[in-house]
């Protein structure tokens, strides 16, 4: 088993409306739990901005807000734990509730992609590939989700540790093996009770998103379940 444990699915109350723990709290809890790193995957969706006059918000204002939790986590970490930027992306497609964990995201990419929420998975997958990002469908067998075409994904979340949802993780594991998809495990952290329920053990310390994407694609890691 690898020595370096990373949380791959984390939300902060600064950004995600459904989260109840601040970025500072998230950082402290995961340090105490013995993790080497956290990927902040706050919700990137229209619903994230609905408490504002989101129709009249500029894209820059939306990205500034979205990055709030990640930036606060970086400050709170102060070198004590690795904090990386990701997102849980949901496109503005009527009657489709699918969420995608995207790793390798950069601030530059977000600011330069105002069409992001109006895209679909097919088009975004091409953009993600060009920008060296990887896409994992989050909790694909949870009620309300629709399984996406494997050819547009790098992998799926085969273990989602959120105790308030039945994500049918066993079905996700079967699907990943059937379609030769990479697997990821995450706590889906929103509240203190979600702490350390999932994650990935890597053989090396991951300090950058480039390293994270490389190790995910290499596939030599172990899942915490």
* One pLDDT digit (tens) per residue for the chain, 225 residues: 679 999 999 999 999 999 999 999 999 999 999 999 999 999 999 999 998 988 899 999 999 999 999 999 999 999 999 999 999 999 999 989 999 999 999 999 999 999 999 999 999 999 999 999 999 999 999 999 999 999 999 999 999 999 999 999 999 999 999 999 999 999 999 999 999 999 999 999 999 999 999 999 999 899 999
pTM for this prediction = 0.97
pLDDT at 53: 86
Q: Is 59 exposed, middle or buried (0-12, 13-18, 19+ CB in 10 A)?
A: middle
Q: Which two tokens stand for residue 103?
A: 């790793």
pLDDT at 54: 84
Helix axes 68-77, 23-32, angle to 10 degrees: 40
- Round to whole Å and give the CA distance between 145 and 127: 23
pLDDT at 77: 98
pLDDT at 1: 61
Bridge pairing between strands 182-186 and 155-160: parallel
Inter-residue contact 11 to 189 (CB < 8 Å): yes
Inter-residue contact 144 to 97 (CB < 8 Å): yes
Q: What is the DSSP string of the chain?
A: --SEEEEEEE--TTT-TT--S-HHHHHHHHHHTT-SEEEE--EESGGGGTTS-GGG--HHHHHHHHTHHHHHHHHHHTTSSEEEEEEEE----TT----EEEES--HHHHHT-TTGGG--HHHHHHHHHHTT-EEEESSTTSTT--PPPGGG-SEEEEEE--TTS---HHHHHHHHHHTT-EEEEE--BSSGGGTTS-EEEESS---SHHHHHHHHHHT--EEE-
pLDDT at 145: 95
């Amino acid at each position: 088993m690898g020595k370096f444990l990373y949380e791959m699915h984390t939300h902060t109350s600064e950004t995600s409306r459904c989260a109840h723990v601040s970025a500072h709290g998230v950082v402290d809890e995961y340090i105490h739990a013995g993790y080497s790193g956290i990927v902040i995957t706050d919700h990137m969706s229209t619903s994230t901005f609905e408490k504002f006059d989101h129709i009249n918000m500029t894209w820059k204002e939306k990205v500034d807000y979205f990055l709030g939790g990640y930036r606060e986590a970086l400050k709170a970490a102060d070198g004590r734990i690795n904090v990386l930027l990701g997102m849980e992306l949901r496109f503005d497609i009527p009657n489709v509730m699918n969420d995608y964990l995207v790793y390798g995201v950069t601030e530059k990419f977000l600011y330069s992609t105002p069409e992001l929420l109006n895209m679909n998975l097919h088009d975004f997958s091409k953009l993600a590939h060009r920008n060296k990002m990887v896409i994992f469908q989050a909790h694909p067998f949870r009620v309300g989700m629709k399984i996406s075409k494997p050819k547009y994904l790098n992998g799926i979340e085969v273990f989602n540790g959120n105790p308030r949802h039945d994500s049918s993780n066993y079905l996700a594991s079967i699907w990943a093996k059937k379609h030769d998809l990479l697997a990821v495990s995450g706590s889906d952290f929103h509240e203190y009770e979600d702490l350390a329920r999932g994650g990935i053990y890597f053989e090396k310390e991951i300090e950058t998103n480039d390293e994270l994407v490389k190790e995910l694609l290499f596939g030599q890691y172990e899942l915490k379940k």
